[in-house]
Structure 1
Amino acid sequence: MFIHIIANCNHAVSLAKCLRQIDAHEEHIIFIKDVRYHSQDYMSEVVKNFPSTRLLSGNLNITKSECVIIHGIFSNEDFNILSALLNMEIKVVWNVWGGDSRLMGNAELLPTLNRISYLFCAPGELLRYPDMIVPVINCNLYNAGLDDKSAFVSMKEKLIVLGNSADPSNNHEYLLSLIGKFTSYRFVIPFSYNATNDYMLRIQGLLREYSLEDRVDIITRMLSFSDYADLLRKAKAVFFAHNRQQGLGTARLAYELGCQVFMKKIIKQAIDIPTQVNPGYIDLVQMGYVDIHEITIIEHMTEDEFSIFTANRINALPELANNSPREVSRIFSVLKRELWR
């Protein structure tokens, strides 16, 4: 039995859709963990897609014949759950999310993290962390569950989404410096989690500095999955500028809904760290999202050139990739063989 522990968020809905596609009801169960950074409840939508779902409350009754997959470690509570499972000698797989890499560079945490059985993460994710010696499997368990992608091109407006959260790693200052020349476009900044008052004031100051107050909307509420999809159906493009790519769920959903997705293909995470290919970009390409654009080309585009570049483009999406149902099924077959042989 595979036991998934995941936060009450959009990704839980995508996980449920993925497990539904591989008909995994008998071998998988999802436990939803409440979060404090938003009040939006995704539980009913998760249950609708994957009925073998429960709310995580109290102690889990887990045996050594089961494997726990932890989706993201964002808090001390998450890390305490991981430590408790490892101390019980439970097999654990860590599905690494965007902000998780900060843990790998913490020498005090490495003895615990290196007891994990497997990591699910993007290629190149561990290049900066040679002391992290857990075996890696490259796969993706999140599925937006969309159908005809080409149908959304005609619904596009002159709207661009900037980043995916209020976290400063979104590099909003750089994104705002790019868009002043796009005078006929509107912009949305999702700002629903990881926000601080100081950072909000900084962004508002930048909007005044760049004379963008009338054209940029900051969304501070947590959107439902359907509301987020509706926003991306209308958007012409999504701009990312992370030096440690996050928001892959947003990037994938935007791509499938016909947005042109721009991000850094080469990143430099710190002054003393060499440049490397963006693991998030590699991950997206391996999942079949091949028409990703380099964000820095926007620096050299006029508004007219951008409009021509993005006009009526249909994003290619192969039928087979490393997030396809047959590949996800294969990954779990491999895990069963390796964990319980």
Structure 2
Amino acid sequence: MILHVANLDKFIPPFVKLINENFDGKKHLFCVLGNNKKYPIRQQNNLKISKPTLIGVVKHYARVFRDIQRAEKVILHGLFDIRLIILLSMMPWVLKKCYWIIWGGDLYFYQTPKPRKRDKIKEAFRSFVIKRLGYLVTYIPGDVALARKWYKAQGTYKECLMYLSNIVDDQLIKSTSQLNKSDSETIKIVIGNSADPSNNHIEILKKLAVYKNKNIRLIVPLSYGDKENAEKVISYGRQEFGDKFEPLTAFIPLSDYKGILKSIDIAMFNHKRQQAMGNTITLLGMGKVVFLRSDVTQWSLFRKLGVVVKDINEVDLFSRLEDDELARNIHIIKSYFNCKTLVMQYERIFSK
């Protein structure tokens, strides 16, 4: 039996569906903690959902404690939950059969300031567990290198795209065969993917200030994340760019959001760590010009794959990629970030 342990998030319902449609569901058990109303997931025989109530939490960890010892393999969907981490530290003998699907924030938590004693204690538990995990699952080798550097992780690297959010929509690629040549002379730029301060919006807006008198339109997704930061970004953006600054503050259905991404020319992600990969992959697959920081792990990944991305510290809106570069980007993204690759990677993880 392969045990999956997860907190319910937007990635989990489609993942459960993917596994049950492509593998023998009887060999998989999903132990999930979370609000089923926020992220609806169809009840199935191999799915155990616990509500985040006191009783629900107790039942969830009791089930995990029991089943994690019975399982042949354990798939840990992120390592954010300190209660799970403490539980794992109490069973060090199971860690060698654990596969840590690295989400990003669970790794980069290492960089978060820890002024309180209890934060340092939590980090000690995290270090103990991560060092001893048997397998590290991601498609970004740089994140594995950081896990080894920061936590002395010894696990074997397993390459995997992890979730369907990292799969580019083939229909979107087919509809962008003209490399998204815009009929408008306005340069449309999307900045960041949320209101979280990690987007470093104002830093990039300052870089773009030299273009404020040009024919540009700045589209800034701010519908979720830090509301206080969103207000700061909106205030600065409107003051500097006027009506050329367009914040997206209301929830947008995914299909509509992808329509917005399809209409833009340039994307700028100023995160100082691996983040917004679903958006980045989708945009590259659409043939868009993407700017990233050159010191983040996804920069190295794309360069290794042969995908051309631009350095956000060298912003030039009028220095575009050649058509053959955009076409090559589309081909590489389509060839690697697809469902067939994802299923094949999980076949390797489950069978060995």
Report the TM-score, using the length of structure 2 for normalisation. 0.71
Q: How far apart, in 1, do the equivalents of 2:274 and 2:219 lie?
A: 19
Does the residue aligned with 1:129 lie in a helix, a strand or coil? helix
After TM superposition, give the deviation of residue 225 of structure 1 in Å. 3.0
How many residue pairs are counted as aligned between the two chains? 309
Structure 1 residues 296-329: Cα deviation after superposition (integer angstroms, max 9, x where no partner): 331xx2x5x24x5477943333365386635653
Bigger relative contact order, structure 1 or 2 (CA pairs below 8 A, ≥6 apart): 1
- With over 3 angstroms needed to count, the CA separation of the structure-2 counterparts of 1:262 and 1:9, relative to structure 1, is farther
After TM superposition, give the deviation of residue 254 of structure 1 in Å. 2.0
Higher mean C-alpha deviation, range 59-68 or range 15-24:
15-24
Task: Report the AA paired with residue 238 of structure 1.
Answer: A
Q: How far apart, in 1, do the equivalents of 2:245 and 2:275 lie?
A: 22
After TM superposition, give the deviation of residue 200 of structure 1 in Å. 3.0
Map of 2:207 onto structure 1: 178
Structure 1 residues 175-217: Cα deviation after superposition (integer angstroms, max 9, x where no partner): 21233305322222222333042x23432342245x2242222
Map of 2:330 onto structure 1: 316
Task: Report the AA paired with residue 139 of structure 1.
Answer: C
Q: Structure 1, unaligned stretches of length 5 or more?
A: 268-277
Structure 1 residues 221-265: Cα deviation after superposition (integer angstroms, max 9, x where no partner): 444432332221222221111221211111112222332222122
Is the CA contact (8 Å cut-off) linking 2:2 and 2:27 kept in structure 1? yes
Q: Aligned pair 1:282/2:300, yes or no?
A: yes
- With over 3 angstroms needed to count, the CA separation of the structure-2 counterparts of 1:251 and 1:220, relative to structure 1, is same
Map of 1:225 onto structure 2: 254
The CA RMSD over aligned residues, in Å, is 3.7
Q: Aligned pair 1:131/2:159, yes or no?
A: no
- With over 3 angstroms needed to count, the CA separation of the structure-2 counterparts of 1:249 and 1:326, relative to structure 1, is closer
Is the CA contact (8 Å cut-off) linking 1:40 and 1:222 kept in structure 2? no
Does the residue aligned with 1:262 lie in a helix, a strand or coil? strand
Q: How far apart, in 2, do the equivalents of 1:290 and 1:246 lie?
A: 17
- With over 3 angstroms needed to count, the CA separation of the structure-2 counterparts of 1:179 and 1:316, relative to structure 1, is same
- With over 3 angstroms needed to count, the CA separation of the structure-2 counterparts of 1:203 and 1:293, relative to structure 1, is same
Match of 1:151 among 169, 175, 181: 175
Percent of residue pairs identical: 22
Does the residue aligned with 2:136 lie in a helix, a strand or coil? strand
Higher mean C-alpha deviation, range 168-177 or range 56-65:
56-65
Does the residue aligned with 1:43 lie in a helix, a strand or coil? coil
After TM superposition, give the deviation of residue 56 of structure 1 in Å. 4.1
Q: Structure 2, unaligned stretches of length 5 or more?
A: 112-119
Is the CA contact (8 Å cut-off) linking 2:102 and 2:137 kept in structure 1? yes
Match of 1:292 among 290, 309, 315: 309
Higher mean C-alpha deviation, range 60-69 or range 23-32:
23-32
Structure 1 residues 276-315: Cα deviation after superposition (integer angstroms, max 9, x where no partner): xx322233456x57132222331xx2x5x24x54779433
Is the CA contact (8 Å cut-off) linking 1:2 and 1:69 kept in structure 2? yes
Task: Report the AA paired with residue 81 of structure 1.
Answer: L
- With over 3 angstroms needed to count, the CA separation of the structure-2 counterparts of 1:283 and 1:32, relative to structure 1, is farther
Q: How far apart, in 1, do the equivalents of 2:8 and 2:349 lie?
A: 28
Match of 1:164 among 180, 188, 193: 193
- With over 3 angstroms needed to count, the CA separation of the structure-2 counterparts of 1:226 and 1:13, relative to structure 1, is farther
Q: Aligned pair 1:95/2:123, yes or no?
A: no
Matches within 5 A, 1:172-321: 172-180=201-209, 181=211, 183-197=214-228, 199-209=229-239, 211-265=240-294, 267=295, 278-284=296-302, 288=305, 290-298=307-315, 301=316, 303=317, 305-306=318-319, 309=321, 313-314=326-327, 315-318=329-332, 320-321=335-336
Q: Aligned pair 1:112/2:129, yes or no?
A: yes
- With over 3 angstroms needed to count, the CA separation of the structure-2 counterparts of 1:167 and 1:161, relative to structure 1, is same
Q: How far apart, in 1, do the equivalents of 2:89 and 2:151 lie?
A: 22
Is the CA contact (8 Å cut-off) linking 2:262 and 2:286 kept in structure 1? yes
Is the CA contact (8 Å cut-off) linking 2:159 and 2:345 kept in structure 1? no
Q: Aligned pair 1:84/2:87, yes or no?
A: yes
Map of 1:273 onto structure 2: none
Is the CA contact (8 Å cut-off) linking 2:104 and 2:274 kept in structure 1? yes
Map of 1:64 onto structure 2: 69
Map of 1:333 onto structure 2: 348
- With over 3 angstroms needed to count, the CA separation of the structure-2 counterparts of 1:129 and 1:31, relative to structure 1, is same
Q: How far apart, in 1, do the equivalents of 2:46 and 2:253 lie?
A: 21
After TM superposition, give the deviation of residue 132 of structure 1 in Å. 3.3
Is the CA contact (8 Å cut-off) linking 1:10 and 1:225 kept in structure 2? no
Higher mean C-alpha deviation, range 149-158 or range 90-99:
149-158
Report the TM-score, using the length of structure 1 for normalisation. 0.73
| Bigger-Rg structure (1/2) | 2
Higher mean C-alpha deviation, range 15-24 or range 232-241:
15-24
Q: How far apart, in 1, do the equivalents of 2:192 and 2:227 lie?
A: 16
Does the residue aligned with 1:214 lie in a helix, a strand or coil? helix
Structure 1 residues 104-157: Cα deviation after superposition (integer angstroms, max 9, x where no partner): 466523113324332223212234416333333232122335114142244856
Does the residue aligned with 2:170 lie in a helix, a strand or coil? coil
